[in-house]
Amino acid sequence: MRALSHPSPNHGARRAGQVPRLIVLHYTAMEGAAALARLCDPAAEVSAHYLIGEDGRLFALVPEDRRAWHAGAGAWGPWDDVNSVSLGVEIANPGDAPYAHRAMMTLASLLADLLARHRLPPSSVIGHSDCAPGRKSDPGPRFDWRGLARAGLSVWPEPEAEAEARAPAPAPDPGRFRADLAAFGYTAPVTDAALLAAFRLRFRPGAAGPLDAADMALAVALARRWPVDPGAARA
């Protein structure tokens, strides 16, 4: 797909010879033109590899072999320097509105290309809120994760199709919930409340209250079907 070149100066070398293993999705929290200016402003010290405008235009900001400054503090699976192992994609959206259809179409094309070229599984596509729970909320509750999964561009747990879901659902157990989510990739050191909020933001938007059996069943499905490779950090 054709991307418009708009180089950002805000990048560096990937540490320890790392290569892209994750694709982290963000919302801009501002309109596309303002986001483009900020992501290319040396004083802002933020960037991403790609920006998708509301009209579906794709801007290439940082070369894929370079470390863009988009994820900040956080962790996913065995990685605690997410920037060094990821590609960052910013999507123009205020954070509380539906995503523009053209933007989502461009995102689907971009993800299909990135996953194929870097030989990454759909489970490598995560949100900023996944690797920085309690600190970040993007791409937010209006993002269509289920639609991406249906296109093979991310994952979505369907516990009713899992063998363990035909048995009684696990009783709420914060320790087991944390362990199952860590197996999937949620390894940032945060409180139980922050972890539950980040998980629900992506997989149960709108859910409220304490940890329940539905949360437990989804976490079991994630851990069973898409466990992150703990040895990947040494590869």
Going from N- to C-terminal start, the domains of the chain cover 4-150, 159-227
The pLDDT score that the predictor gives to residue 160 is: 58
State the DSSP code for 14: P
User: Would you state the pLDDT for residue 235?
Assistant: 59
The radius of gyration computed from the CA coordinates of the chain, to the nearest angstrom, equals 17
Task: Please state which of the four CATH numbers 3.20.20.140, 3.30.160.20, 2.40.10.10, 3.40.80.10 is assigned to the domain occupying 4-150.
Answer: 3.40.80.10
Q: How many residues does the chain have?
A: 235
* DSSP SS3 for 86: strand
Peptide bond just before 78 cis, omega within 30 deg: no
Give me the pLDDT at residue 171, please: 86
pLDDT the model gives residue 158? 79
Cα 95 to Cα 99, 153, 207: the distances in Å are 9, 21, 18
Q: What is the DSSP string of 40-52?
A: T-TTT----SEEE
Low-confidence ranges of the chain (pLDDT < 70): 159-169, 234-235
Mean per-residue pLDDT of the chain: 94
- The pLDDT value recorded for residue 64 is 98
Q: Is the dihedral of CA 102, 117, 181, 28 positive or negative?
A: negative
- Residue 159, pLDDT score: 64
- Please write the tens of the pLDDT for every residue from 87-129: 999 999 999 999 999 999 999 999 999 999 999 999 999 999 9
- What's the pLDDT score for residue 170? 74
Tokens 């070398």 -> residue: 13
